[in-house]
Structure 1
Amino acid sequence: MKSQKDRVKLNVGGKKFETTATTLACAGRNSFFGSMFDEDWNPRSDGEITEWFIDRDPDYFTVLLNLLRTGELYIPSKIDKKLLYKEALYYGIQDHVRSAKWGPFDGNRLRLAESLTGITAGEAAMIRASQNSWCCVVRGNMVKTYDWMLEEQPSITTRDYSRVNDICWVNSDNIAVSSSDKYLASGGIGLFSASTGELRYNFQVKDGDQLKDYTAGALGVSSDYKLFSSCSESTNKRNGIGVWDQVTGKQTDFLPYWPYKATKFQWLHGTNCLMVATCHSMSKCSINLFDFRENRVFLSWSNAMDERVYRDAIVIEESNSICVVDSKETLGFMDLRSINSIEWRSTHTRGFTEKLSGWTGYKFSYPKLAFHKGQLFSSFDDTISVYCGSDWVRTSQLQQSHGGPIWDFSIGGDRLFALHGSEDIFDVWETPRP
């Protein structure tokens, strides 16, 4: 192709570079270099060699140009990594930097990349990862957001010191926060900018045309731009589920008199249904699948006759199953087509007391579940186990030498984030390149 032979001259901060349109095309049409060429990546210069001036640091450009040439990322010792990431963001090639530095997500090959300390005062509550590898952390009434470079963004703080009940990434730019903050209008749900912390609008809870005095709890999102929240009315001790349009913030549905207060939502992409799970600190547990198209519950299960204490539940659509975990990290599996029985599998290999012997300031953490790229993850004390295959065999474990018990963890993009409850720290796990 003609564009592969065309040479391109660049002047970056006074330093001359010469490359080809083919090399710059590796950056992608939406990158900084896309505007320098036509649709066929021919220079907009009638075929002549033309010099473009770019007012940026040439040393950092040298590293990024070599990345486009070879696909390899070599960072000299004199180069500040975070400044290099910012330069990559300017040129629109941050994804190239990430793919050169880290490989595709694989739970069996995860390595501890970084531990961040000094997050904020207050008790650890929860951590949530976004699909673009950002994360947000809740401690007390504050939400702290970190971008893909792990740089802290402006915090989200509820007024009146109201505790944050749940957080949820609506998309890569926005975070929904539920709390008992009376300034977030009825229900206490606000949509905030992830990068600025700015409140964009409130989600109000209505039953019919009337505002209701509900407190929002667990949050969830769907692939068709719905936001779900559990709602509790303290005066009458009634529960419901609110549904809003993520784009407009308007409520589209409300399911009053839901039998239990939901603690987790999961949208099932294959059937366009919502899993509503209730796993309380006591033994009561229920799992319901709700079809909004027919406005009915088409599958319901509860542990009315079971004395186990359930902590979390997750639907694994790939295997048509539901996985639950009890307080001892025993995993149970139910077939979605026949949920009358549970197959239990003990997973822990060493005693709980043994792990706690050297820890101080301990706060009890409950097992949590996650599913990502065909792999099942379960946290227990200071360890996250990875399960694979049709029989869900444990294939690896993630464990940090310090930090104490894992209070919460979340997977998003190509990272796993683990929040420790007894110390002011969270870990970032990534997959090295093969």
Structure 2
Amino acid sequence: MCTPAAAAGRGRVRLNVGGKVFETTAATLSSAGRDTMLGAMVDASWNAGPAAAAEYFIDRDPACFAVLLDLLRTGALSVPPHVSERALCREALYYGLLDRVRAARLEDGDGFDGDRLRLAASVPGPGRAPGHDGTAVRAAPDGGCCVAHGGALVRVYNWMLEERPPVHLDHAPVNDAAYLDASTLLLAARERPGSGGRRDGHHGNGGLAVFSALTGEIRHRFRVTHDKQPRPFTPGALAFDDRQNSKIFASCKGRLNEYGVGAWDATTGQQTDFFYEPPGCALGDADKLQWLEGTSTLMAATMFPRTDSSFISVLDFRAKDVAWSWSDVGTPASLEDKHAVHAVAMDDGRSVCVVNQYDDLGFLDLRSNAGGVRWRSRSKLLRKTKKAMHAEETCYPKLAAHGGQLFASTDDAVSVFSGPDHALTSTLRGSDGGGAICDFSIGGGRLFALHNEENVFDVWETPPPPII
């Protein structure tokens, strides 16, 4: 409860918070924004009266308020050991400063270090119900996430891991998901059987569309055209260039098994390009796209066991050319077990890491079209348990690169590789009984790992450094 003793002026303001008096300036409180409680207290349009000093009584926790006031003064978040994270978040929510607290944590880099990650939470899902198998988890830029469970819906969580309204897709299976920003979610879903392609604008029949991560409501549906004609393509993998031209990319498969990758302007929603390849090309039905910032190109990978062989291409949209490509077609019989099941371009932009179904890591040189995968037995992951040997195909190993480190999932753990030689330095194993990890994602200073058996996802964080 807040009771003003007098109207706020332009100078100093006294606040009695839970019995402790704080003195600051109206400018400092105004910096919180007029849509916050503290900003509104000193906003002229909300408070009428003489320009005099004021004292406000606020019946809240003074220790947390001291942290939040210091955040407004300095822009930095310094949390003493005696203030709990939960209490600070509760008080920040009361004052309308929750987003400011999270932003301060990420401002100087997310502080993410795979070797220092600690399990912060395990969030249960809908369990093993028909049609609710875990499909994908995607990290939001602010530390929240979304989880696709089969074809029914996509669950959305804020950075405090509180569930927001879900996105309902009317049983259209989700192929991929991506965050354009903390409040905007991009989903690619294939048309559900028997839908016939509805024309009423409803988003339940699949396709590529943007949704509000806050309300679950649809904002925009993307159209796919080629040669100036609408094309009935089904979107698959997604990627987003958020630094150059703010473009959205989606792999597309036509009804006659023609393939391509479309590009759209993220601001206007208009299609800007389409990289089309005829049937039988190396592009294929790509199930992994990744924007390569250093070369302004797009990596498109089609992985085994989705296809009989694996294809990786680097596409140059400006030249409408395949700048680099690799395939394991024609691999000698002695190496048939080396089919790649997932791939990621490394942070240095010089190589692509691949992993096969037996958890071997290999590397491809993007600077050369010659040579194959350099498999490195010393980089093998942990061996699968007997339980994992019977896991569903959705639980093949996955890869991610972040901050110079390489991450790979296998069975119920995520392995961390560090240094120029990619040595195994850490192993993250979370929920007991959750089953094999079917997907994981890194973003907003967190690693999210989705387990297949019970649809539970684990949240890993790097603890903040000690305050001196």
Give me the TM-score of the superposition, normalised by structure 1. Answer: 0.84
1:255 to 254, 261, 275: 275
1:148 to 145, 156, 159: 159
SS in 2 for 1:132: coil
Is the Cα contact below 8 Å between 1:187 and 1:213 reproduced in 2? no
Is the Cα contact below 8 Å between 2:63 and 2:83 reproduced in 1? no
Matched, 1:244 2:264: yes
Aligned-residue Cα RMSD (Å) equals 3.4
5 Å matches for 1:5-154? 8-10=13-15, 17-21=21-25, 32=36, 50-51=53-54, 53=56, 58-60=59-61, 62-66=63-67, 68-69=69-70, 71-73=78-80, 83-87=90-94, 89-90=96-97, 93-95=100-102, 98=105, 104-119=111-126, 121=129, 122-141=132-151, 142-154=153-165
Matched, 1:291 2:320: no
Is the Cα contact below 8 Å between 1:187 and 1:231 reproduced in 2? no
Q: Separation in 1 of the partners of 2:303 and 2:42?
A: 56
Q: Separation in 1 of the partners of 2:229 and 2:205?
A: 11
Change in Cα spacing, 1:248 to 1:66, as seen in structure 2 (3 Å) is closer
Corresponding residue for 1:418?
A: 449
Q: Separation in 2 of the partners of 1:360 and 1:374?
A: 30
Is the Cα contact below 8 Å between 1:116 and 1:427 reproduced in 2? yes
Q: Structure 2 regions of 5+ residues with no counterpart?
A: 1-10, 44-48, 71-76, 192-196
5 Å matches for 1:178-327? 178-181=188-191, 182=197, 183-184=202-203, 188-223=207-242, 224-234=245-255, 236-257=256-277, 259=281, 260-281=284-305, 282-306=307-331, 307=336, 308-318=338-348, 320-327=350-357
Change in Cα spacing, 1:26 to 1:321, as seen in structure 2 (3 Å) is farther
Q: Deviations over 1:326-377 (max 9, x none)?
A: 111111112211243321113346542xx235x7994341111101111110
Matching residue's letter, 1:300 = S
Q: Separation in 1 of the partners of 2:82 and 2:145?
A: 25
Q: Deviations over 1:235-254 (max 9, x none)?
A: x2111111111111111112
Corresponding residue for 1:3?
A: none
Matched, 1:167 2:177: yes
Q: Deviations over 1:288-309 (max 9, x none)?
A: 1111222211111111122222
Is the Cα contact below 8 Å between 2:112 and 2:445 reproduced in 1? yes
Q: Separation in 1 of the partners of 2:390 and 2:324?
A: 42
Q: Deviations over 1:169-217 (max 9, x none)?
A: 1222211111124444997111100111110010011112221121111
Is the Cα contact below 8 Å between 1:64 and 1:88 reproduced in 2? no
Is the Cα contact below 8 Å between 1:116 and 1:426 reproduced in 2? yes
Give me the TM-score of the superposition, normalised by structure 2. Answer: 0.79
Is the Cα contact below 8 Å between 1:127 and 1:409 reproduced in 2? yes
Change in Cα spacing, 1:119 to 1:247, as seen in structure 2 (3 Å) is farther
Q: Deviations over 1:370-423 (max 9, x none)?
A: 011111101111111111111111111101251121010000011000000011
Change in Cα spacing, 1:15 to 1:351, as seen in structure 2 (3 Å) is closer
Q: Separation in 2 of the partners of 1:285 and 1:271?
A: 23
Q: Separation in 1 of the partners of 2:413 and 2:357?
A: 14
Q: Separation in 2 of the partners of 1:369 and 1:205?
A: 29
Change in Cα spacing, 1:20 to 1:91, as seen in structure 2 (3 Å) is farther
Is the Cα contact below 8 Å between 2:13 and 2:26 reproduced in 1? no
Change in Cα spacing, 1:52 to 1:399, as seen in structure 2 (3 Å) is same
Task: Please report how far the alpha carbon of residue 36 of structure 1 lies from its aligned counterpart in structure 2 after TM superposition.
Answer: 8.0
Task: Please report how far the alpha carbon of residue 162 of structure 1 lies from its aligned counterpart in structure 2 after TM superposition.
Answer: 1.6
Matching residue's letter, 1:146 = Y
Change in Cα spacing, 1:148 to 1:60, as seen in structure 2 (3 Å) is farther
Matching residue's letter, 2:182 = S
Change in Cα spacing, 1:18 to 1:340, as seen in structure 2 (3 Å) is same
Matching residue's letter, 1:176 = L
Change in Cα spacing, 1:30 to 1:94, as seen in structure 2 (3 Å) is farther
2:460 to 424, 429, 434: 429
Matching residue's letter, 1:226 = K
Structure 1 segments, 4+ long, off by >6 Å, are 25-31, 34-38, 75-79
Q: Separation in 1 of the partners of 2:92 and 2:275?
A: 46
